Structure 1
C-alpha cells in the first residue's frame, strides 16, 4: 500500500516549525533583511527548539531524528524566509554533518554538541574565486610542518563563516599529489580565530540578505595535524557525498519558497480588486496560481522520494539531482509569477514576494547549478561519461 501521509512525529515537527515561522520569524525578518543583519535571536531560538540537532544522535547533543525531519523544518522556514532557512541548512548539512560523517570520535565530542544546540555554527570552505562548480580545481594548499597543517589560499561565498557564533570552517585543500598525478585533496578543520585566517567583509548580495556570507583567506594558517577530517586524500569524495544530501535539503528549502509564493498569492487575490472584481475571480490569475501549486506539489514529491531512498540506504544521487533541479525551477518560476500577480506591490520590499523573488535565483546556483544537476542526471542514466 502506498501512503504519502506523514507519520505523527513528522507532522508534529512540521506544525511546530510552521507555527514558529509564522509567529516569530515572519513579523520581524523583513527588517533584518533590509538592514542586511544576521538574526541572532531567531537563530538562538531555533537552537533551543533543537532544529540544528534534528538529524544527529542524542549522544552528541542531537535530537535523534533523521535528515527528512531536517527537510521538513527547512520547507516550513522557507515558506516565510529563506535567509533563516539557509542558515539552518548550511549549519547542519555543511557545518555539522561532515564532522558527524567523517570525524573521529574525539572530533565529534569536541564540536557536535555546540553545533547541535545552535550555540555555534560551522561552515564548509569549498568554492574558490576561480573554481565555481569545478571543485577539483582547488588551489588552496595545506602542507605538514612539525605536526601542523599550514594552510594557504582563499575561499568564496562561504555561508555562516563570519558570525559571532561561528566556531569552525572545514576547508578543502590540496595536500599532495596522487599516484596518477592528480591532486590529493583533503578536508581540514580550521577553528575560527586561528592566526592567519581572515574573514573578508560580507558580500553585498541580491538575496539571502539576512544570512551570513563571506570570502576567506588563509595566510600560513596553522592548525594541528589532528584537525584532518576523515581520510587524507578523500576530502573531495567526502564533500561530494555531503553535496548529495545537501541537494535534498536545498530542494526542500526551494519547495518552501515555492509554497510561500502560493500562500501569499492566495491571500492577495482574495483582497485585491481590479475593474470591480476580486482579481482571484479572473481565470488568468486562477490558471497562474494553479500552475504554481502544480510546480510546488511535484517538487515536493521529488524531494520526498529522494529523502526516502537516502534513509533506506539506497543510491539516491539521481533522485537528489532531480529534486534539486525541479524544486529550484519551481521556486524561481513561482517567485516570478507571484511578483506578476502582485503587480507594482510585488516590486516593493515590504511585501514577502519581493523578498522571495530576490532569494529564488541562488537556488538554481548554490550546491550545484542547474547545469550540474542535468549533467548528474545524464550520468546516472548512462548517457554521459
Structure 2
C-alpha cells in the first residue's frame, strides 16, 4: 500500500492556498486568459512558486509528494477556473511525470524529476497519433535500434503543452506485438533534439490557454539511456498505468468545473428576474439546480472512493474508468443546464458558463473516450466473473 508523504495539516494548508490562488488570482482573469489564449506569466510564476508543477512528484525529487487521494482534492479546486490553468502543469504531475516516477531508472529520475517538479522543465506525454488514440495498441511511431541507441520516426497528434515542452515522453513501437510483449517502449526525447518538429498550435473549441500541437519525429537519435526503465516492454504498461491514474484526476477536475457551473447557476437564478420574480423562484429552474447539485455530490463521492481504491491498490483499473465516465458525462450535463438556466445570456461569449460549456466538452474525449471507459468497465467485470 502506498502511503501519503504529506500529513493532513500540511495538506490542508496546501489545499487552502490553492483554493485562494484559484479564486482570487485566476478567476478574475479568466476573460484575459480566454482572449489572449495564454496563461499570463505572473500566474505561471506564482504556480511554480507554490509547487504546483510538482505537487504529485515525490518529495525526494523536490515535489510536494501528494498521493492520489490528495491530488483529487486539489484537482477539484483547480477545476473551478479555466481548465488551461491545470493543463499548464498537469502533464508534469500526471501522465508524463508519473511515467518517470513509476518506471524510470534512478539515472532518469535524477536527470529529470527535480526539474519537472520545479517547473524548469515542461514534460509532454506523446502517445496519441492520427491512427491511435484511446487504444495505444495501434501505435505506428517506430523506434529502431542502432549501435548505441535508437532512431525514432513517427507523428503524434493533439499533444498537450507541445509548443512549450522541454521534454517529450514518447511512446514508440520497437517490434510487432508478440508472445514476449506489446513491443511498445517509451523514450525520453529532449524537445531540442535534431529531427523533432512541433507543428502549429491547434485551434480548439475551448480550453483557451491550453496549447496542443502535432509533433513530428524524423530520424531522431536518442541514446540507450533514453529508454524508460531500460526495457523495451515498459511502454504499454506505463501508458496504461499513467492513463488510469490520470482518469481519476480528470474525474476530479470535472467535479470542480461542475461545482463552478452550479455556483454560477444558483447566483444567477437568485438575482435574475422574469416578470418581476427571481427565476430561482420557478420550480422548473429549481429542478434543474437540483439535478446539478445531485450530479456534483455523486461525482465528488465517486472520485474520493476511486482515489482511495487506487492508493490502497484495491482497484486500479475499473474504478478509474467508472469515475472518469460518470464525472465527465455529469459535468457536460451540469454545464448544459447552466446555460439553460442563464437563458440567452448563457450563450454570450463573456459569460463564465459559456466558457465552461466549451471547456468541459474535451473531458469526455481525452485520456480515453467515454466509449473506451465503457469497454474497460464491461470487459473487466465479465473477465473478473469468468476467473
Does TM-score exceed 0.5, indicating one fold?
A: yes
Q: Residue by residue, what CA displacement relative to the aligned partner does 1:156-202 show, whole Å, maximum 9, x if unpaired? A: 01111111xx2201111011234449751100110111110000001
Deviation at 1:21, TM superposition (A): 0.6
Partner of 1:302: 302
Structure-2 separation of matches of 1:77 and 1:315: 25
What corresponds to 2:26 in structure 1? Answer: 25
Mapping 1:217-256, distance limit 5 Å: 217-230=216-229, 231-256=231-256
Partner of 2:371: 371
Q: Contact 1:324–1:373 at 8 Å: present in 2 too?
A: yes
- Could you state the TM-score of these two structures normalised by the residue count of structure 1? 0.94
Matched, 1:144 2:145: yes
SS in 2 for 1:368: coil
Alignment length, in residue pairs? 378
Name the SS of the counterpart of 1:381 in structure 2: helix
Q: How do 1:82-231 residues align onto structure 2 when only pairs under 5 Å count?
A: 82-163=83-164, 166-180=165-179, 184-230=183-229, 231=231
Shift of 1:264: 0.8
SS of the residue 1:217 aligns to:
strand
Unaligned runs of 5+ in 2: 1-6
- Conserved in 2, the CA contact under 8 Å of 1:51 and 1:73? no
The 1:181–1:110 alpha-carbon spacing in structure 2 relative to 1, beyond 3 Å, is: closer
CA distance in 1, matches of 2:361, 2:310: 26
Please give the residue correspondences for 1:336-355 in structure 2 after superposition, counting only pairs within 5 Å.
336-355=336-355
Is the contact made by 1:89 and 1:249 (CA closer than 8 Å) also made in structure 2?
Answer: no
Q: Which segment is superposed worse, 375-384 or 363-372? A: 375-384
Alignment-derived partner of residue 360 in structure 2 = 360
Identify if the C-alpha distance between structure 1 residues 68 and 88 changes in structure 2 by more than 3 Å, giving closer, same or farther.
Answer: farther
Which moved further from structure 2: 304-313 or 175-184? 175-184
SS at match of 1:200: strand
Structure 1 unaligned blocks of 5 or more: 1-5
Report what 1:3 is aligned to: none
Partners of 2:213 and 2:124 lie apart in 1 by: 11
Name the SS of the counterpart of 2:220 in structure 1: strand
Deviation string for 1:105-158 (max 9, x for gaps)?
111111111211122210111110112223111010011223121110100011
- Tell me if the contact between 2:103 and 2:234 (Cα under 8 Å) persists in the aligned partners: no
CA distance, structure 2, for counterparts of residue 21 and residue 167 of structure 1: 26
Q: Which residue of 1 aligns with 2:62?
A: 61
* Counterpart for residue 82 of structure 2: 81
- 8 Å contact 1:44–1:119 — kept in the other structure? no
Cα contact 1:72–1:252 (8 A) shared by 2? yes
SS of residue in 2 equivalent to 1:362: helix
* CA distance in structure 2 between the partners assigned to 1:203 and 1:290 by the alignment: 37
Q: Secondary structure at the match of 1:162?
A: helix
- Rounded to whole Å, the distance in 2 between the matches of 1:35 and 1:80 is 16
